[in-house]
Amino acid sequence: MVQIIPAILDTTPEDFKKHVEQLKHSVSFQEGWVHIDFEDNEFVQNKTVDITTVIKTPISLNKEAHLMVVHPLQWIDKLKEASFKRVIFHFESKDDILECISKIKQLEMEAGIALNIDTPVESLEPFKDKLDSVLVMSVVPGFQGQPFLPEALDKIKALKKLNWSGRIAVDGAVRDSNAKQIIEAGADQLIIGSYLLKGDIDENLENLWEVILDE
């Protein structure tokens, strides 16, 4: 069964705390994972809350970090200290990929890599046996509210052809109108931010499952 993971992308501590409180009061997300975005205003033109804000705002869900940053190596130790269990960094970042994977694994966290829409999936071939997951971006990373890029569906299918053994997650503009297509293409995880968090989370999730399970 596909896994739906709520995503938080916030630029202020106040908004971050608000969204964490939403999840805490949600019936649907008392266990599982939460996806937290970090942006450095260099890799993308936006800056989110820092790790300190996350530490000050505890949540019982397992935390995965999505590092939209130029130098992920500088973040990994701090993420371990903040009790993250999974770290996803971008293939397009400036640090050595094998070094990033090795450091994450040494600290006993899962390692995932994110691919922008223009990065060929074949680029992952040398690393695919070392990664736990790949995150296919279905928007240009940086901001919520962008349109879904249908090329992401082709990337998922291409990963399947590579005999990818890890999980395939999709992040960006995932909602009721495209969730079923994404799953049919081969995704294991849907990373969903604004569609879930705007309004009632449990109602939004129920609507999503109705579409996904509709025969």
pLDDT tens, residue by residue, 26-40: 999 999 999 999 999
> Would the pLDDT of 112 be above 90?
yes
Assess whether pLDDT exceeds 90 at residue 110: yes
In angstroms, the CA 183 to CA 43 distance is 29
Exactly one of 37, 40, 95, 132 is catalytic; which is it? Answer: 37
For 46, the domain range is 3-213
Q: What is the pLDDT of residues 123-161, one digit of tens each?
A: 999 999 999 999 999 999 877 678 999 999 999 999 999
For residue 215, name the pLDDT band (cuts at 50, 70, 90).
low
What is the secondary structure of 142-193 as a DSSP string?
Answer: T-SSPPP-THHHHHHHHHHHTT--SEEEEESS--TTTHHHHHHHT-SEEEES
Predicted local confidence at residue 154, as pLDDT: 97
Residue 83: Cβ within 10 Å count: 13
The CATH number linked to 168 is 3.20.20.70
Query: What is the phi/psi pair of residue 204, to 5°?
Result: -60, -40
Neighbours of 198 (CB within 10 A): 11
Average pLDDT over all residues of the chain? 96
What is the pairing mode between strands 110-115 and 167-171?
unpaired
158-172 average pLDDT score = 92
Residue 172: per-residue pLDDT = 95
Q: Counting Cβ atoms within 10 Å, is residue 170 exposed (0-12), middle (13-18) or buried (19+)?
A: buried
3-state secondary structure of 119: coil
Q: Known catalytic residue: 40?
A: no
Our answer to whether residue 200 is catalytic in this structure is no
The number of distinct structural domains making up the chain is 1
Q: Is the pTM of this model over 0.85?
A: yes
Q: Which residues contact 57 (CB under 8 A, 6 or more apart)?
A: 13, 16, 17, 20
pLDDT at residue 165 above 90? no
The catalytic position among 10, 95, 132, 171 is 171
